Homo-oligomer: A and B are copies of this chain.
Amino acid sequence: MDIKIIVGTLAGILTSISSVPQIVKVIRDKKAQAISPVMFFVLLAGNLGWTYYGTLLTDWPIICTNAFAAMLDVCMIILNYKYNKM
């Protein structure tokens, strides 16, 4: 298998799942005061941009990893809104 495909897929998986530990921490601690919602709005815009880029190239790994990341960003924005003032 091509080293580029391996490196690109691994890097894509890592950047896509990076929000998971943050989501788990917020749900567990029920605290989100220190988290910047702006960060996740910018990430959401970026991940949706990459998803669109993937559709332009018909590149399914780009589409799937970024659509998944965008979904996590939306979760994080909702959690931030829910726990920010508690």
Binding site for B on A (CB under 8 A): 3-4, 7-8, 10-22, 24-26, 29, 31-36, 38-40, 42-43, 45-50, 52-53, 56-57
Contacts and interface: CB of A to CB of B under 8 A. Distances in A.
Nearest to A50: B11
Nearest to A49: B11
Contact of A21 (B10, B11, B25, B39): B39
Q: Is the interface of A mostly helix, strand, loop or mixed?
A: helix
What number of copies of this chain does the assembly contain?
2
Contacts of A47: 11, 15
Contact of A34 (B21, B25, B46): B25
A15 B46 CA distance: 5
A53 B15 contact: no
A33 B36 contact: no
Contacts of A52: 7, 11
